[in-house]
Structure 1
């Protein structure tokens, strides 16, 4: 390997990339580097594998300005990247993002802008199997359906119509393994004190719930649940494809100035309940910006077999569903 130390982790990721073309030969990758152990492990692995794959690598560090040491953290990341021949862009938050969800939304906007400017085909993040497990538990406890439980796939589009892919080559490694890799190669890590703050639900899952589950139920729970997420990913892809076909054949979008959506009941009535729910949830997501709940979808499911003239109470945004022959008609309640 031309003088680069080679480990079982290098070999494992190299093999994985041959099987899963997450970062194809010659790709231009934008690496998200926080300075923590997972992103430093990712950076080191891709730098070492770069000669074998002819990648062009760039890095980005997002400074949320949440901590007094955030500017020093950013400088640490820039120096680390440039020491390994990876140009690094530091982007500082232009506003106070109060929640992790807002901060994440901002980070991904930054990734999109930089990837476009630098003509990067892939954004690479250091998410691990442990992150996948924590996301599954977090979404399960919030009442998410299967789509939420399979979050953090190996690869997805950066945004709905983006040609740039987000890829996660470390999803096969646990956080314990990335820590061991960093120790093995004596890599410098920037400690993030906010990771110990149990005011964040995700930190409580990582610091309190997962150790409890490991101690009392299953020592390998992080790997087991990450594998569950992997199975769910494939099943969700299948269901989404089938639901897409059924949606196309049963839903009529508004014509001209009309704001009326129509769903043909007969094709849906004979479909499995899982597909009925997916099609009806997709429809509600089209007609309202509000969060769609389980109860909202079940109201529409009940109307698939309801008698003529039956109607729902209003959905978020004021729409009402009415049975009109073989059609379910969604329209504004004031238009009735």
Structure 2
């Protein structure tokens, strides 16, 4: 735990996110030990907890209340119970629950002045994350899995001190501390891909390929995190040097884009889409946008998620459009040529 807090600069106040399950309850017990000491490696620290009730199961409120009592008995303070409403209109149920949970954790951290939130993800969770990414055909960023430390959108630092521990280790900690964790029934529900990965896929791989598969998958994530960070830094600086703005539109010079390595080019295109208000495009959509660079004349638009259209326009066609509209082609219009242009689309009023 000391290493995790060191990554965040030894925050003075932290909250443990606890569902009552073995992983987060074990984390709470370890954090309570340091709370009683009052410091980590000589750095003062106080530890509280937050329990998020997703209201997705009957009796979830009672589980949250019992968990809060256990956390208070461990000596954590404050213990905050947050009730959230999960809406799956824009995404799947797992993603919607995660979004609601993280919003609640950030709100709790802000209210209580906590510098960081501790999450109980283990090495097994990391291995499952990598397997799911492989099954979905994801890229480097997804296969890099969960980070030991990251800063959420609202500025709260999220720490995962247990990414090097197996799930069996957290269950052992609970046993030693005489804690009775709650076991979420959705963790073994075959309706969820993550549950099937946990209960069926990973054990099958361990059986057929030998022990150590989970550790190897987690090690793969650690290696890819280094690669992903490097590519992200290069893409960010490249995008900043290339982007040209025309009002709300972002333009990227075609010639410069063609000269980029594909790994950087795709990332730069995704950054341009995000800059005009779009969402992370799928690989297939990025391929469609990138293909505009190999066409002649007018091309597009290619629609990207989040209401973004990307297109390219030749000078000849732009001049033709100007004549049709009774005008000419001025320097500003001509400057749009030779670029991929990312344009936010107007969304219909509700």
Matched, 1:92 2:77: no
Q: TM-score, normalised by structure 2?
A: 0.82
**Which of 258, 264, 270 matches 2:259?**
270
Q: Distance in 1 between matches of 2:341 and 2:185?
A: 53
Match in the other structure for 2:121: 127
Equivalent position SS for 1:314: strand
Contact 2:18 2:50 in 1 (8 A): yes
**Which of 158, 166, 183 matches 2:152?**
158
**Which of 55, 60, 66 matches 1:70?**
60
Contact 1:22 1:169 in 2 (8 A): no
Contact 2:16 2:49 in 1 (8 A): yes
Match in the other structure for 2:244: 252
Q: Distance in 2 between matches of 1:189 and 1:332?
A: 48
The higher radius of gyration belongs to 2
Match in the other structure for 2:50: 60
Check 1:85–1:148 CA distance in 2 against 1; reply closer, same or farther (3 A cut). same
Equivalent position SS for 2:300: coil
Tell me the CA shift for residue 23 of structure 1: 4.9
Q: Which moved more, 1:43-52 or 1:111-120?
A: 43-52
Contact 1:243 1:278 in 2 (8 A): yes
How many positions carry a matched residue from both structures?
A: 313
Matched, 1:145 2:139: yes
Q: TM-score, normalised by structure 1?
A: 0.85
- Any gaps of 5 or more consecutive residues in structure 1? 1-12
Tell me the CA shift for residue 230 of structure 1: 0.9
Contact 1:128 1:171 in 2 (8 A): yes
Match in the other structure for 1:170: 162
RMSD of equivalent CA atoms: 2.4
Equivalent position SS for 2:303: coil
Contact 2:49 2:76 in 1 (8 A): yes
Check 1:74–1:330 CA distance in 2 against 1; reply closer, same or farther (3 A cut). closer
Contact 1:318 1:332 in 2 (8 A): yes
Q: Distance in 1 between matches of 2:344 and 2:211?
A: 53
Equivalent position SS for 2:158: strand
Match in the other structure for 1:9: none
Tell me the CA shift for residue 156 of structure 1: 1.0
Match in the other structure for 2:199: 207
Contact 1:154 1:169 in 2 (8 A): yes
Contact 1:319 1:333 in 2 (8 A): yes
Q: Which moved more, 1:136-145 or 1:109-118?
A: 136-145
Match in the other structure for 2:299: 311
Q: Deviations over 1:144-180 (max 9, x none)?
A: 2111111310111121xx3321111111111122122
Contact 2:273 2:342 in 1 (8 A): no
